[in-house]
Chains A and B, each alone.
Chain A
Amino acid sequence: MILQIPLIEQITPKAGQMFNLAILILAGVLVYVAYSLAKQGRTWTIRPMEALDAIQEGIGRAAEMGRPVLMFPGIGNLQNPQTMAGLTMLGEITERGVKVNVPVNTIPSATEIVTASESIVRDAYSRAGKPELYELGKYVKWFGTDQFVYAVGGAGYILAEKPAMVVFLGYFLADVLVTGEAGSRVGALQIGGTADQSAVSLMALCCDYILMGEEIYAVTAAITEDKYQIATIAGEDWIKALLLVLMVAGVLLTAAGLKSVISFMWW
């Protein structure tokens, strides 16, 4: 039997938009429900994530070795959600590092990320109770906005400073291979996370621990240990479970000749 799925010509620009809107509204409602439950005292635990544990371990390792930590938020700009996740991680790592006297340096790519990173690092020093240690340009380094200028600058910086841990979290492409290899050469503990499929495999080549896809968003909520942020991950899991049910039902019903789920998805 040939499945009657819409042909490319039949797919209008608006096809499926109502389904997308329904999922967005439902996601908002579920996240809000999880958030409300958290406010009432309900707590969720996130499954152990090796990369998250490694980040905590890496800061301790850096303190023992007397070496800095380096964080790459990627080559994306502020409009990229992966970059936002990277910046959240930068703030959390910096705060944890400052508390144990470990300098956390970062190398952003886009110029607006330089300003955002300075702001986040300054804020982290204030939260850690050591605002006097913050200096403009001391922890945020910039080598250029181009992908490979960024990579080569980052690699040179790693070879010169020999950080104890390098964290890649954000949007990366082949540039991660250049910086990742430099990190491996100096024996740094390397943790990489991105939602880009091509870069995930490159990170697997040079990083000790990797975070795939949506894990980068989950880990930034988990590291804050904020029960409200963790509650939103529960809402995310509910949405994922619902999508999984829809997918399985869609496959079974379409195989049985019913097109209700497919029609709903093209609503």
Chain B
Amino acid sequence: MSTMDSVSRFIRTRITRIVIVITLLSAVAGYFFSSPELNALNTELNLWNMNIITFTLFIGLITIYFSYSKSVSQRTTNWPFRLYALVLIAVWIVMGLYSGLYSDMYQTAFLSTKITLHIAILGQLIFFYLSAMYRTFRVKTLRTGILVIFALAMVVLNSPITLSNWSAADQISYWLLNNPGMGGARAVVLASGVGGMILAIRIFMGLEKSALRAAGG
């Protein structure tokens, strides 16, 4: 292995792990304890964190630029769309830098393109809901079966015809949401919290490899 490779590997593995350990410990200490020194360290690391996030955005854009340019130059499948995306990215960046993000021109362009299309997809969601509900009738597991039963119960209990003809329907749906529903939801939240905490400990111990692989280590 050449010296350059060794240095590169050291930066990508050891340095990444050192950064993970320092930032994790300082974030935990800054959250649980209050002292001017810890607060100052936490503020400084948060600024670094913001800088790194901004930097990764550019790294991502550079990766996309190389990937799409290669696709365009080699005329792979759907290359015109990639060229279109590259042109659009450049146009939006130039327009944002030239006129400012809060200028009328930028905001009008943003609202009349992106937001309009976004709302169009939101409007179509009901079709997907109905289609997916139909598909769910081929229940394959006990879990999905239970979910379908409760989903159907909620649909029936909250439908205007049921509510107008059966006064208890409202109370039953309220009870279902606030008792078994709430209990289940809290179980998911609590267990997810513990799972996330253990994932953080795995990363801290260097057992979770994805953090290092993401850094190329």
A interface, CB within 8 angstroms of B? 14, 17-18, 20-21, 23-24, 27-28, 31-32, 35, 50, 77-79, 81, 84-85, 87-88, 91, 110-116, 118-120, 122-123, 136-137, 140, 142, 146, 148-149, 151-152, 174, 177-178, 180-181, 184, 195, 197, 200-202, 204-206, 208-210, 212-218, 220-221, 224, 226, 228-229, 232-233, 235-236, 239-240, 243
Contact = CB atoms under 8 A, between A and B. Distances in A.
A111 B114 CA distance: 18
B144 A210 contact: yes
The 10 closest A-B CB pairs, nearest first, are A111-B60, A214-B195, A137-B67, A112-B56, A217-B195, A116-B214, A205-B132, A195-B192, A88-B210, A148-B121
A123 B213 contact: yes
Contacts of B125: 174, 177-178
Interface in B89-142: 114, 117-118, 121-122, 125, 128-129, 131-133, 135-136, 140-141
Contacts of B40: none
Contacts of B66: 136-137
B208 A229 contact: yes
Given A204-B136, A204-B147, A213 B63 contact: no
B47 to A, nearest CB: 15
A232 B59 CA distance: 33
A240 B194 contact: yes
Contacts of B80: none
B195 A120 contact: no
A68 B68 CA distance: 21
A110 B209 CA distance: 20
Contact of B199 (A84, A114, A201): A84
A206 B147 CA distance: 12
A137 B194 contact: no
Contacts of A136: 63, 66-67, 70
Contact of A151 (B31, B70, B121, B216): B121
B143 interface: yes
B202 A229 contact: yes
Contacts of A113: 60
A216 B203 contact: no
A192 to B, nearest CB: 11
Interface in B163-217: 185, 187-192, 194-205, 207-211, 213-216
B155 interface: no
Contact of B198 (A20, A27, A208): A27
B210 A232 contact: no
A114 B56 CA distance: 10
A249 to B, nearest CB: 16
Contact of B195 (A177, A209, A218, A228): A218
Given A87-B210, A214-B192, A209 B141 contact: yes
Q: Helix, strand, loop or mixed for chain A's interface?
A: helix
Contacts of A233: 198
30 contacts: A27-B201, A28-B204, A31-B202, A77-B53, A79-B53, A84-B199, A84-B203, A111-B56, A113-B60, A114-B67, A120-B213, A120-B214, A136-B66, A137-B67, A140-B67, A151-B121, A178-B128, A195-B195, A200-B188, A204-B136, A205-B133, A206-B135, A210-B144, A213-B192, A217-B198, A217-B199, A226-B207, A229-B208, A233-B198, A239-B198
Contacts of A174: 125
Nearest to B206: A228
Contact of A84 (B118, B140, B208, B215): B208
Contacts of B161: none
Interface string B65-83: 0111011000000000000
Contact of B214 (A78, A110, A224, A239): A78
Given A151-B121, A228-B207, A114 B63 contact: yes
